[in-house]
Each structure stands twice: as structure tokens, then as C-alpha cells.
Structure 1
Amino acid sequence: MKLLSSLVALAFLISCQPKNTSDYQADLIIYGGTSAAITAAVQAKTMGKSVIVVSPDTHLGGLSSGGLGFTDTGNKSVIGGLAREFYHRIYQHYQQDSAWKWQKKEDYGNKGQGTIAMDGENRTMWIFEPHVAEQVFEDFVVENNLEIHRDERLDRQSGVIKENGEITQIQTLSGKTYRGKVFIDATYEGDLMAAAGVSYHVGRESNATYGEEWNGVQVGVYQHRHYFQNNISPYVIPDDSTSGLLPEISSEPPGQNGEGDNRLQAYTYRLAMSRHPDNRIPFPKPDNYDPARYELLARVYAAGWDETFEKYDPIPNLKTDTNNHGPFSTDYIGKNYAYPEATYEQREEILKDHTEYQQGLLYYMSHDENVPDPVRAEMANWGLAKDEFVDNNNWPHQIYVREARRMVGAYVMTEHDVLGDKEVPEPVGMGSYSLDSHNTQRFVTKEGFVQNEGDIGVHPKNPYSISYGTLVPKKEECTNLLVPVCVSSSHTAFGSIRMEPVFMILGQSAAAAASLAIDNDIPVQEVKYAELKQLLLGEGQVLSQQD
């Protein structure tokens, strides 16, 4: 009897012990802090699912809150659901007089991409300041009581546990574990997808892979103005090949047109810059600043190029979302190839290199005598916005990962789908932007001049549907994972899909599918499309041009 009493007492004590605070469980585990991650979490909560967002970042929203305020939208009529709600809330914010601190609302030009920025008829706004976007995401978190675990990086070596083709648990570097019924990888890099053993591709496929025209190497294709329009020498001493190449030029041959390679379209930071004297700080001079690094730009200027400020796109309050423009600009061409597969430490070095390049470029354009006087005079009116990214020295907290890993899943979107040459099965959202790739390399032509390669801009005739199969792996590889950002697509198709509104759309659709898979205890590949379609249409998603 005494032994029995002791055992009962021990059992009672064990039951009263606090739960291990490093172990978490929910119906749906979302890895990532991007815009897709947040829309996915909101959708799952509305369907009654428990959700934990495991974010490797502190700030939520990815590029949507990280500087990309001049939204790449394409045809706005196909943006529905929570994505449209996001842009509606942006509109509501800028209807308040308090939103216009540095500029009068009536003085704002209302310029957007192909349309007005502030659409009163549809009560949406597509152009915004980074901190406003971040607040909208944080409002989503509070209103939906979302559980967000920030600064939690996946243990990519041994942190993903699978049993019988399912992910059962992931672990972060801090030692926290997360068990779920379904998982979503909403990162730009596809780290969870890769660690789960799902097939993916990095770089450009050959045109032969999917019978495409615009994939692979594209030497001599100039569909934007991001190329050298004059014959400019790439050598330290002009026209003397024995003097060595200038910085930022590759010594490797570009390859044959149409063949695949591991090159990625360039990354950049989308800067929030201000021209209000009370809300700008001078461009910082990086520690390793070397003006010789920008000699190629000096030669571009000397040849007569004068388009420096054509992509200083206006956002409210006398700010700009500054994007790459021209042959030598903020895109750091050829320096990101290793990023997708790199360790966290290696990625930090790559990001530091990108930061120093771009900060050095701004300082050079502001100070160096080789820069034309009118450019330096205009640069004097600009600086980093003092009220943006205040915890990161006013520098964006998210680099523009235009492309990293891309899943090879149940269905691969190609340029044939995007350009309307075939019917897309089981649509879960729509896109409409051009096949858009920035340059992937800067090389020396056979004539001995410098040139860029990789820039593509082919416009679809109409908006196109995106298949559910692009969100799910092959069934034999994983049955409880969805991937709404690093979707299953070719390089050319991803160039159109990779827009922030589309990521929000696909995040919501992925979570709806995940919830149905949980309800029916089935693999994500077996979700009944008719049921998913009805659900998505009820949530305001636009799935095809007939909707």
C-alpha cells in the first residue's frame, strides 16, 4: 500500500510539471515570415486550425514590408482574397490625414505601375511605405491571435524528421521543436522543402528541358534597358586586355544561348529613400569603400548615359522605392549564385557583400568627381529615410531574393502556361506579370567589350492561372508539405509568378488546402479540387478569367 501511495504521488507530481517550453505542436506549422506566411496563417485560423508561424526573421512581410513598396502587380483584377485585403488596408491607412507626415496628400502624384497608385473606385492602394506594410501584417497577427515565433532558424542539417513520407517534426537551431499535421514552407529560399528531401532546381534550365524559348542563356537579348548600349572596355586600362578586368566583371564565358546553368538573376536591396530634409540621413560610407569598384559606372556616364533617376519610383511622403535601372546599378550581378545552398553563416557574408556594394555605389554617386555634376547635385537631395528600418541603420532588413530554389513538384509551370499556350489544371490563383528576369551575369564579349546577360521581359497576352500542383511535392517525396513561394516552375515561369501579390494569393490557397487535408486526414496531393475551388472562391480568390 505504501508503494502504491508513493507511485500515485509521483504520478501526480509528474502531471503537475510544466510542459517543456521548447516543444510545440499545432495543426499547421508554417516556416517563414514572408507575406505568404502571414496570409497562410490567417486563412488557417479562419478555418479553425491551430497554427504556429516559425519565422527565421524578426520582421514580418518579407519584401512587401522590406522596401518593395512600388508593387509589381500586373493586372490588378486578378488579385483577390487576403492579398486584396492587404492592399485595401493600405488604402485605408492613406485616407487618414495623419498618414501624410512629410507630404500633403494632394501633392502626391498617385503614380503606380501602369495605373494609379491609389484606386478610390476599388478602395485599394498599391504603392506604400515599408513601415505601413509591416503594420498591416502585425495587425493581421493581433486580430487573428496568431502565434509567431521569431528569429527561429531551421536546423537544416538534422532538424527535419520524416516518417512514412510525412514530416512529423522540425527543429530550429535554438533547440525548439514543432510538431504538426501539415507544414508550409513560405520562405524565399525553400529551406524546409530542401531539408525535407523534396526535389528542386537552382538556376536556369535549358530551353530543351521544357521546350521553352526564353530559358537558359540569352546572350544578345535586350528586352529592357539594363544593358550596355555603347562599346565600353572592360579592362583596367581601356582596350588593354593584359591590364586585367575591372571589378564586377566575370572572366567566365557566358555560355551558349538556350543552355542551362546555375546562374541566378541578381539580388538587390529595394531602398526606401527620402528627399525631405528633415527625414533623410546621408548615405553611409562603407568600411571597405573603394571607388575603383565603380569605375565601370564612370565609363557609362562618360559615354553619355543619363537615366540614373528613372527608377526612383515615388511612394508616399516624399520617398522612393529605388530599383535597379541601366547597365550598372543596384543589382549586384553574379554575386548570389551560392546563396540558395549556402549555410546561414555564408549567407550572412553574401548579404554583407551586397550591402557594401550597394552602399558604396550610393556614396560614389553622391561624392565622386567622375560622376556628372547634375547627378551628384540630385543625389544631394536624397538620403536613407530616417523613419524606415529604424532598428537596422535605416537599411532594409530583407534583400530581394528574386529567385533561389524552385520545387520540382506535382506540376511544373512553364512559359507555355504563363503565355497562354495551354490550359492550366486545377487553378488556385492567378498571375499576370511579364516573364521577368534581371541580369544573371556581366561578361566580356568576343569583340572585347563589357555586356550584361539574362534580362528578360516577355508579356503574357492575358492573366493566367496557377495550378495547385505547383504548390505540392511529388507524392512519393512528401505528403504533408505545401510550398507557395518556391513553387514548382521553370525559371521563366517563376519570373512572372514571383510577385508579392501572387505569393500572398498562393499562401492563402496553400493554407486552405492544408486545412482540407487535415480535416480529411489525407495527403495534400489527394485534396479534392472541387472542394478546394469552392472554398477559395468563397474567400474571394480569383482562379481563372471566368471567375
Structure 2
Amino acid sequence: MSKTIHFFAFALLLVCLGCQNETKNKFEPEVIIYGGTSAAITAAIQAKKMGKRVVVVSPEIHLGGLSSGGLGFTDTGDKTVIGGLAREFYHRVYMHYQDNDSWKWQNKEDYGNVGQGTPAIDGDARTMWIFEPHVAEKVFEDFVQEYDIEVYRNEWLDRENGVKMENGRIKSITTISGKVFEGKMFIDATYEGDLMAAAGVSYHVGRESNDTYGETWNGVQFGVYQHGHYFHKPISPYVVEDDPSSGLLPEISAEALAENGTGDDKVQAYNFRMCFSKHPDNRIPFPKPDGYDAKRYELLARVYASGWDETFDKFDPIPNLKTDTNNHGPFSTDYIGKNYAYPEASYEERKVIIEDHVDYQKGLLYYLANDPKVPEKIRKEMAQWGLAKDEFVDNDNWPHQIYVREARRMVGDYVMTEHDVLGAKDVPQPIGMGSYSLDSHNVQRIVTSEGFVQNEGDIGVKPKEPYGISYGTIIPKKEECENLLVAVCVSSSHTAFGSIRMEPVFMILGQSAATAASLAIEQNLAVQDLSYERIRERLKKDGQILVLEGKL
């Protein structure tokens, strides 16, 4: 055989191997869901139930987002408007805790059954709203197994070059690992809206001005203290008290405060929802983090010195002598002002931001348990708590998921505002319901004109009744993309999103997004051209609650 023939044979072999490798890394389902959140899993289940070939492309290894990441004290609002697969999730949690073997560290009879606006265990409805992180993750994994859902984990969208558009539609997405997913419909179910942004869909980051949509509670909200997360007494922000020349304490901004109602690009604070244990056999003492500096928490020492004493008010009880511990008070687990860059940041930049949040929060816990400036009774109480040994076992018992309360928000043809949420107008084409308060955590920690420290951005305005969430909130403008639905970073103002952004609602919207995606495939239509009547008919069949009982 000649050298030329050998050369062409070798070249052909390389081409064949390349084709095999390309085929191995290319997937062609009908529905592609990007994200590993609770919305992503409910979307996948619904697409499967409607007979569609579906894959979940998840940046995360652990499924469920915040629902399995520490937020076990569910923000239910009015639980009667939570239907469909979301309600199925909470029913499965209920069934888990009916088994006596699920109560390893606590007798079921000793559990207080305290929930947020509803009993933790609702026996009449056979639902449970309060749960341990690993239980939620198990429920999501059970869903995946039962419905035979393909999940590709630790797959990160190539945000620069990974979205291929063709004739106003997403043709395929490519992950950093080189996997290519080509499909008919795409659902962005991430907290960040990365697929939406990479597809060129319009979005907003930060707070709109009140003038933008004629709202009251948007933009800067200084002096609005609707929760307890503010400084109740005058406290000096300076290293040397009352001496501006000494500089500011850590975690305080020197930026001047804008007028109330002014829009900005700032984002409400993030934190980790932590799972603590009080059982001595399931408790790990709070570790001292590398680079720990007690001076970082001097402001909290001054809060204690002022007489504040609410440290344990948000150690919300979940089963087995554990907590879902959230931010509470003027200086707590919310890392105020340190997340502004996160929504648009690269993966590497986000990792740095997240690690900074971890260091801050771990340092805070160690400070509370050990520093002599912390009142002794608080240190003694903290000594009874620790990280839960049986949670997040592959991450040093620390939550896998930071609480991204708000990042990007799509700007579609219909933007939900506080007028929709507070009942000032009828919501068109509802695909689910919300009911929680307009809820924003603090956005800034600043120095007042009087020379004291104060927080800004906290709001909590309760709707008079549950409200519908419009189909228009989950679809982009048609001229931007015809085959994308957005289940988490929906088209809404900052204030409206403060109510929508609850985990049960994300599950509801995930199911509704997949319903629309499946119908669009069957009818070969853009998601914007679907008949709402068809969507409503299918959602009602599958148990979604679209309007209050007694209303049309």
C-alpha cells in the first residue's frame, strides 16, 4: 500500500472519530431547560407528561435551587392558590414525614408545627410546607427518576458564543464542556437569566424609578421600615465613634443617598439560608474561617450595645431540631451592597462574589459564638447550635446555593408591576397565582445626613388578595425570540418581582412555561402566537390555579 493511501486512510479515520465525538456531544430533544432550580424540574416533569422529549441542562450538581438549598421555611403566602406540580411537591414532602423513620433527631409529636402563615404540616390538605434541605432534594431526585428525565449536571452555558440564533429563534445552546443541545423550545429556569441574556432578550438589572411604571414602592426607599431590618437607635458608622476622620467601619458605603423613588442598578442583598442543628450528635461547631477578622463585625457589637436583642428571631424551626436561619435585624446574614455586580458577572467573578459572601457569613457565625463583645447570653445560646452534620455533606455542611433574591428581570411586552400585585388592575391571561408581599431586602447601608448608619431598600407591602401572573411575563417580545420562555427572571418591575420571587411560584411558572412550550411545538407556533384559551385549558386540567375561587 502506498504512503498516499496510508495518509488518506489515516485522515478518514480522524474524520470518522471526529464525527463520532461530535455525535456524542450533540443532543436533539424537543424541549431544553437550562437551570437546576425547582422551576427547572417542574418544567421538565410537565414537558414529559405532555409527551415531549426533554433534557435539563443544569449548571448545578444538586437539583432544586433554594428549595433544597436551605430555604425550608417556605414563603407560602396564601397556600390555597398553590396548585399543580408545586402542590405535588409539598404533598410528597408531607408523605416523607408521615414515615416515623424520617424523625431521626426529634419526636414528631415534639415538632411545633409552626409555618409561615400556615401550619407546617397541613393534614387536611396532605401537604407539608416546612422541611429539611436533603428531603427537598430527594423529592426532586425522585421526580427525575420516576419521569425518566435526562439531566446533564455541571454544564455551564457558554454565555459568549454558546447561543446560536436562526430566524428569530434559538437553534442550539452549547456548554463550556462542548456539549451542543439543539431543540425546538427553550426554557430559562436559572435565577440569573443567563440564557435569556445570551439570546439577546431585553432585561433590566436593579430598581426602576417610580416614574417608570407609575409605582410607589420602587427605586430608593429610605426611611421605609416595613420589617425589622434597620437601626432602631442612632449608631455611629465611624471606626472611632463620632469621628468622621477615622473612616467608616466595614460593610458601610460612603456613597451619597439618592432621592426616594430614584432608580439605580443596585440589587437587594443576598445571603445563604443556613441549616443549623441543635442536637448534640448532629451538630458541628461553627468553624473559624481563614482570614477571620473580628473588626469586620464591630457594627454588630454597637447594635448589641444599643440594647437590640433579636438574634434568634429567624432561627425558624424545621423538623429534626434544625433551622432555616435567615437574615434578621439591622446587621445580620444579608451581605448588603456586595452583590451589585453579580447578575452580569462572569462565572469566575461570580465565584469570587459567592466566596466573599461565604467568608462574611461564616465569620459572622464564629463571631456570634465566640467574641467577648457579643452578650454572654447570646454566646451561650449560639453554643447550642451548629451546622447540621447530615446536610450538604459534600460541601462542609454549607449550602450549595446562594440566595439570589433578584438578578436580571426580562422586559417583555407585558411587565408585571405593583399595580398588578396590589389589585389596582386586572391581570390579563393568568397562568398561575402569587400572594406574597412585595418583599425586598435591604439594598444599601449608608451614612445619614445626621452622621449615623442606616439601611435602605427594605419593603414589605401585602396584597389585599392573591393575584394572577400573566402569560406575558414569561415570554420575550416576539421580535427578540420566538421559542424561549423564562420561568424565573420574569418580566416584572423590582417591586412586583419582590412578591413573585417565591419558590412555590417558581414551580408554578416552571410548569406553565413547559405547558406553553409543549403546545407551541404541537402547533408549530411561536410562543407569542399561542392561543391563551388552549394554555388555560391545559393548565386547569393539570391542577394549576389561575383565579380565585368564585371569580371568572
TM over 0.5, shorter chain: yes
Match of 1:103 among 102, 106, 125: 106
Q: How does 1:30-429 map to 2 (within 5 A)?
A: 30-429=33-432
Conserved 8 A contact 2:76-2:117: no
Query: 1:453 corresponds to which letter in structure 2?
Result: E
User: Deviation per CA, 1:274-293, whole angstroms, max 9, x where unpaired?
Assistant: 00000010111110100000
**Which of 457, 460, 471 is equivalent to 1:457?**
460
Q: Within 1, Cα distance between the matches of 2:251 and 2:163?
A: 38
Deviations 1:500-525 (A, max 9, x none): 00000000000000000000111000
Query: What CA deviation, in whole Å up to 9, does each residue of 1:357-403 have, x standing for no partner?
Result: 00000000000000000000000000000000000000000000000
Percent of aligned positions that are identical:
73
C-alpha distance in structure 2 between counterparts of 1:541 and 1:350, whole Å:
37
Give distance in 1, aligned partners of 2:379 and 2:99: 35
Counterpart of 1:331 in 2: which secondary structure?
coil
CA drift of 1:254 comes to 1.9
What do the CA deviations read for 1:208-260 (whole angstroms, capped 9, x no partner)? Answer: 00000000000111001100000000000000000000000000012110010
Please provide the CA RMSD for this pair: 1.5
Relative distance call for 1:204 and 1:18 in structure 2 (3 A) is closer
TM-score, structure 2 as length reference = 0.96
CA–CA separation in structure 1 for the residues paired with 2:82 and 2:27: 34
Residue 357 of structure 1 aligns to which amino acid in structure 2? Y
> 3-state SS of the aligned residue for 2:24?
coil
Unaligned runs of 5+ in 2: 1-8
Please point out which of 463, 468, 472 is paired with 2:471: 468
Name the SS of the counterpart of 2:184 in structure 1: strand
Shift of 1:19: 6.9
- Aligned partners of 2:121, 2:417: CA distance in 1, in Å? 33
Provide the residue aligned with 1:3 in structure 2.
none
The alpha-carbon deviation at position 17 of structure 1 amounts to: 6.0
Task: Tell me the amino acid that sits aligned with residue 22 of structure 1.
Answer: N
Instruction: Give me the whole-angstrom Cα distance separating, in 1, the residues matched to 2:418 and 2:382.
Output: 40
Q: What is residue 437 of structure 2 aligned with on the other side?
A: 434
TM-score if structure 1 supplies the norm length? 0.97
Contact 2:276 2:323 in 1 (8 A): yes
Cα distance in 2, alignment partners of residues 536 and 132 from structure 1: 27
Partners of 2:316 and 2:344 lie apart in 1 by: 33
Alignment of 1:458-537 (within 5 A): 458-537=461-540
Number of corresponding residues? 538
Q: Give the residue type in structure 2 aligned to 1:452.
A: N
Secondary structure, in 3 states, of the residue corresponding to 1:271? coil
Equivalent-residue separation in structure 2 for 1:114 and 1:78 (angstroms): 13
Deviation string, structure 1 residues 189-219 (Cα, Å, up to 9, x no partner): 0000000000000000000000000000001
Cα offset, 1:21, TM superposition: 1.0
SS in 2 for 1:83: helix
User: Does the residue aligned with 2:396 lie in a helix, a strand or coil?
Assistant: coil
Deviation at 1:18, TM superposition (A): 7.9
Deviations 1:30-55 (A, max 9, x none): 00000000000000000000001000
Instruction: Describe the SS at the equivalent of 1:378.
Output: helix
Deviation for aligned residue 1:475? 0.4
User: Partners of 2:405 and 2:278 in 1: how far apart?
Assistant: 27
Query: How far off its partner does 1:410 sit?
Result: 2.2
| 2:164 counterpart SS class | strand
| Counterparts of 2:20 and 2:155, CA distance in 1 | 26
- Per-residue CA deviation, residues 114-134 of structure 1 (Å, 9 max, x unaligned), is 221000000000000000000
Partner of 1:29: 32
Q: Provide the C-alpha distance between the structure 2 equivalents of 1:435 and 1:19, rounded to a whole number of angstroms.
A: 48
Give the whole-Å Cα distance in 2 for the aligned partners of 1:399 and 1:478.
29
Residue identity in the other structure for 2:144 = V
